[in-house]
Structure 1
Amino acid sequence: MNGCGSSHPSIFPVFVLLALLVLGGCGYKNAPVPPRNVLPVAVHDLRADLDEKGATLSWTFPKKTMIGDSVEEISEFQLYRAEEPVDGYCPTCPVPYAAWMTVPGGLLASDEDRTATCEVRGLRPGYLYFFKVRSKAGLWIESQDSNEVSFFWQTPPAAPAGVSVASGDGRNTVQWQPVGTGATGAEAGVLRYQVYRAVGAAAAAKVGEPVAAPPYTDTAVENGQVYTYQVQAIATYPRGSVYSGLSATVEARPLDQTAPTAPVRVEGLRTDVGVKVFWDHAAGKDLAGYRVYRRTAGEGKATLVGEVELPYNMFIDAKAPGTTLFYSVSSIDTRTPPNESNRSAEIRIDN
């Protein structure tokens, strides 16, 4: 099945043609219009986008005639197609084009961009396909040929299955099950995989270059942001590439798992209001503050006794017991719950 149309299809104004025939029968004649005055310029942007079902041809309506006037209407487009088996293809021979399909045209305002599309289905594996298009502004008014597009068609590979993603700190790693090319015979093709990524509610787009095998690690991510991933298989042959459908979607949100550095140059002394502990600020772009730990000489494990927010780098332990004490300090970041650094080397405060 093939489906063709335009962004705003319209019906050819048959009543106008009938009126002209009636007037012509009465002997009334308009002055002849030179063909170049109404002949549209050739389509220049014919393209073919391939998917696992076939190809979609698209092009924009020409907006100017050959002498630069605005085109008011395209009555229709004529698509030409040729297909050649790869084994018998002659690159120096003329392409054996034949008229293939008519695509509706329509009225065109001078400030309007219109697009015509045509879905090409039922393609034969192992064949090369060629397409060109001409636009018509009347029964015998047909433009020159458009640019030519061509592609190779083979049985597409299956969409990758078993897709999963593991989040890390500033990275998402996508895994999937390898697939076959979908082709048989001596020419099996070279398989690659293209990863697609969507950020939040945006549409998915290619990320990175195709890879030969899983996994794919995406490091261009922001911690805390939601990402979704899909994978497409691409089988490449000497004459071109064919594409699978997109895999199922998986979602990931990388999280910050890196703590700031531990504080250094920790010092302390007893004062009238308690033990004062102070230190040099730690490094870390998301540094939020510090935690202070204390233990007595007879304890094997230190206890958290206070937390200090930036910009402060000092803590007064007003409840310090009157015995030999050991203090250490760690750094924490802005994540909830925060990442915490290792503790600093302990300092000793005598009674």
Structure 2
Amino acid sequence: MKRSCFQHGAPVLLAAALALPLAACGYKNNPVPPQRLVPQAITDLKYQLGKDGATLTWSYPQKTVSGKDLGRVRNFLLYRAVVPVADYCEKCPIPFLAPVTLDGGALPDKGGRTGSYNEPILRPGNMYFYKIRCSNGWLSESADSNVVSFLWDTPAAAPTGLLVRSVRGKNQLNWTAVSTNQDGSAITHPVRYQVLRKVDDGAFTRLGAPVSETTYTDGKVQSGQSYTYQVQSLSVLKQGLVEGGLSDTASATSQGREALRRPEPPQAVITDTGVKVFWNHAQTGNLAGYRIYRRAAGETSARKIGEVKLPYNMYIDKSAPKGVALYYSVSSVDSQNPANESSRTAEVQAEE
């Protein structure tokens, strides 16, 4: 029996017909999202730990990846991972969970906008990791933000008794050591303290590295400027630092370092026992004594040859060389350790 041409060709025609709409689609891979809709990645994700848990903050991106202004962000995708300390592996991938969707919104015409998220329940003995993306719809997600992480354990209580006083151009802080955790249990880990400072109405920033002592000297102050301080306790664990409580604030206005006045130029008289150098007392606060300097003719700089404490205002240079012109000057010093010193007086030549 002859085969029907229809029967033989039908599958071919059907396959060709099915192929037509596929060929007409115009792409072979997943569609590429319009670059004008994809927001730039967030780069300033931060966290703050407190009695209400962890608070995350970030800035809304203001541009798309192509540099166009971004009028609004539809929503944010917050990724979170919780890893028990015993299972933590520094080089292992972070096991982020499915994201939490947070509402976005419009950006203001001027300035920026900040997003935030509160994590109220934290379990002791765990590492927490976060990253965030912003989205303007399907296939319009930004790249990952920076990742922030912290170790959570029962935090240490806040330091108490913070005092600050301004002393000669420096602010000196002291506080009471922490001995318990926030739940009242005894401290079982070493404790460090992080000093934070704000200038006038600015934001608090960390000053230097954490310290183990309960004192701190802030030497980077300007006279007349108002400074406010807090101290935060930090529990030191093998896996990192656990941020504890923040002390009450304490403020001081720096008085600056009082400039020491030098005395009037001295007199220098050559005697049989040496060169007698004497001068009138300087009229300056916190004066403790004087330093005496000598320069021989031909020398380019004077050198200190002695020091006297109050109430003396005379010095005998018993080692003065003979046969050469000698020049003397004097400076004032205070009682600080190390002492502050005024500029030197004008030089005077020793005479008989």
TM-score (norm 2): 0.58
Deviation sequence 1:56-88 (CA, Å, 0-9, x none) = 323333444455554443211121212111112
Alignment of 1:29-68 (within 5 A): 35-37=32-34, 39-41=37-39, 43-53=41-51, 54-65=53-64
Distance in 1 between residues matched to 2:138 and 2:194, nearest whole Å: 46
- Count of residue pairs the alignment pairs up: 253
Distance in 2 between residues matched to 1:166 and 1:67, nearest whole Å: 53
Partner of 1:273: none
User: In 2 relative to 1, CA 339–202 (structure 1 residues): closer, same or farther, beyond 3 Å?
Assistant: farther
Structure 2's unaligned 5+ residue stretches are: 1-30, 269-276, 290-309, 316-352
2:266 is paired with a residue of what secondary structure?
Answer: strand
1:87 is paired with a residue of what secondary structure?
Answer: helix
Deviation at 1:201, TM superposition (A): 5.0
Partner of 1:242: 242
Partner of 2:161: 162
Partner of 1:115: 114
- Point out the more displaced range, 107-116 or 203-212: 107-116
Distance in 1 between residues matched to 2:67 and 2:240, nearest whole Å: 38
Distance in 1 between residues matched to 2:83 and 2:191, nearest whole Å: 24
Distance in 2 between residues matched to 1:145 and 1:221, nearest whole Å: 39
2:86 is paired with a residue of what secondary structure?
Answer: helix
1:122 is paired with a residue of what secondary structure?
Answer: coil
Distance in 2 between residues matched to 1:201 and 1:74, nearest whole Å: 31
2:235 is paired with a residue of what secondary structure?
Answer: strand
2:33 is paired with a residue of what secondary structure?
Answer: helix
Distance in 2 between residues matched to 1:200 and 1:101, nearest whole Å: 38
Distance in 2 between residues matched to 1:200 and 1:129, nearest whole Å: 34
CA contact (8 A) 2:39 2:141 kept: no
Q: State the one-letter code of the partner of 1:136.
A: S
Distance in 2 between residues matched to 1:62 and 1:168, nearest whole Å: 45
- Point out the more displaced range, 118-127 or 195-204: 195-204
Distance in 2 between residues matched to 1:227 and 1:65, nearest whole Å: 40
CA contact (8 A) 1:36 1:66 kept: no
- Point out the more displaced range, 81-90 or 55-64: 55-64
Distance in 2 between residues matched to 1:116 and 1:66, nearest whole Å: 20
Calculate the aligned-residue CA RMSD, in Å.
4.0
Alignment of 1:1-351 (within 5 A): 35-37=32-34, 39-41=37-39, 43-53=41-51, 54-65=53-64, 69-91=68-90, 93-108=92-107, 113-138=112-137, 141-180=140-179, 182=181, 188-200=188-200, 202-222=202-222, 226-252=226-252, 253-254=254-255, 259-263=260-264, 265=266, 329-333=280-284, 342=310, 344-345=313-314
Distance in 2 between residues matched to 1:141 and 1:217, nearest whole Å: 51
Distance in 2 between residues matched to 1:60 and 1:151, nearest whole Å: 20
User: In 2 relative to 1, CA 256–126 (structure 1 residues): closer, same or farther, beyond 3 Å?
Assistant: same
Q: State the one-letter code of the partner of 1:249.
A: T
TM-score (norm 1): 0.58
Deviation sequence 1:269-319 (CA, Å, 0-9, x none) = xxxxxxxxxxx9x9xxxxxxxxxxxxxxxxxxxxxxxxxxxxxxxxxxxxx
Distance in 2 between residues matched to 1:172 and 1:110, nearest whole Å: 42
CA contact (8 A) 2:40 2:63 kept: no
CA contact (8 A) 1:168 1:257 kept: no
CA contact (8 A) 1:84 1:129 kept: yes
Deviation sequence 1:102-127 (CA, Å, 0-9, x none) = 21112347876433221222111111
Distance in 2 between residues matched to 1:257 and 1:68, nearest whole Å: 53
Deviation sequence 1:173-209 (CA, Å, 0-9, x none) = 2111111473999x94442212233445554433333
Deviation at 1:211, TM superposition (A): 1.3
